[in-house]
Structure 1
Amino acid sequence: MSDHSEAPVTPVGPYEPPYYAAVFTTVRTPDQSDYSETNARMEELVKDVPGFLGMDHAQTPGGLGITVGYFRDAEALAQWRSNTEHRAAQKRGRADWYESYTLHVAKVERSHGFTRTRVPRSPTAG
């Protein structure tokens, strides 16, 4: 199974501020039993939180993982934080999957984006 999907890689787009970003940075342990399944379940669950805006992920070759979740308001973030299945996954993460982690929650006051426009090449261009 490949780590690369066929879908194009795009970050979560900008939203009208203010909104919140929860930045979860991790270093995982060698034991990743059931991690993929639980992670997939959490990604599905968070989508049901009213006010959830999206999520970005990145993983370095050295093992540093970063997940940024975006939420419309503090209430949406609090609802996600208190979700029963999410709380159970957090407990399992501390027990088995994470060597260390940090969580930073920030109020976004400015947001903008850029996407390069792709211009089709002429068949006669050299």
Structure 2
Amino acid sequence: MSDRTDAAVQPTSLPEPPYYAAIFTSLRTDDDPDGYARTAEHLSRLVREVPGFLGEDSARTPGGLSVSVAYFRDLAGIERWRDHPAHRAAKRSGRERWYERYAIHIARVEHGHAFSRHSPTGGRPE
């Protein structure tokens, strides 16, 4: 949910499934880049307070496609975030100014594994 380029680049550590992923893909306009960045940072802090929030991953391509994935323990957490007043206001601004188009997908994660070259498992999937 953030455009920060100085953030540590690594995937979010997640618990054993099942959990849920809210996948947000978007293509932005050129309108109000500073307001967007401030709002994205603010929302990234707020979502951490939502009960059931587990973490987030986000990336943006040079061509402007953004993909943000927010992970939640259950659908109730996603619904709490969807209905959060600051998030609702940001969605309105997004439709009015910041996005050419976007899509949201909600998925139940049934399986997951991770790999880290520097993990105690010697580089084998965890």
Asked if Structure 1 and Structure 2 have the same fold, meaning a TM-score greater than 0.5 normalized by the shorter chain, the answer is: yes
Moved over 4 A (4+): none
8 Å CA contact 1:54, 1:69 repeated in 2 = yes
Q: How many residues align?
A: 115
Cα-to-partner distance string for 1:94-119 (whole Å, 9 max, x where unaligned): 0000000000000000011010028x
Query: Over aligned residues, Cα RMSD in angstroms?
Result: 1.4
Please state whether the residue corresponding to 1:20 is helix, strand or coil. Answer: strand
Work out the CA distance in 2 between the residues paired with 1:108 and 1:57: 17
Alignment match, 1:122:
none
Cα displacement string for residues 19-42 of structure 1 (whole angstroms, at most 9, x for unaligned residues): 000110000001024111111110
Alignment of 1:82-93 (within 5 A): 82-93=83-94
Distance 1:74 1:17 in 2: 13
One-letter code of the match for 2:93? R
SS of 2:58's equivalent in the other structure is: strand
Partner of residue 13, structure 1: 13
The residue type paired with residue 98 of structure 1 is Y
Quote how far apart the aligned CAs of 1:4 are: 3.2
Segments of structure 2 that go 5 or more residues without pairing to the other structure are 120-126
Aligned to 1:53: 54
Specify the structure having the higher radius of gyration (Cα).
1
**Which stretches in structure 1 are left out of the alignment for 5+ residues?**
119-126
Give how far 1:9 is off: 1.6
**1:79 maps to what in 2?**
80
TM-score, normalised to structure 2, is: 0.86
User: Which amino acid is 2:86 matched to?
Assistant: E
Tell me the equivalent position of 1:97.
98
CA distance in 1, matches of 2:92, 2:65: 20
Deviation at 1:51, TM superposition (A): 0.9
User: How does 1:59-70 map onto structure 2 within 5 Å?
Assistant: 59-70=60-71
Provide the rounded CA distance (Å) in 1 between the counterparts of 2:60 and 2:45: 20
Q: CA deviation at 1:8?
A: 3.5
CA offset at residue 50 of structure 1? 1.0
Query: What SS does the corresponding residue of 1:17 show, helix, strand or coil?
Result: coil
Aligned amino acid, residue 27 of structure 1? L
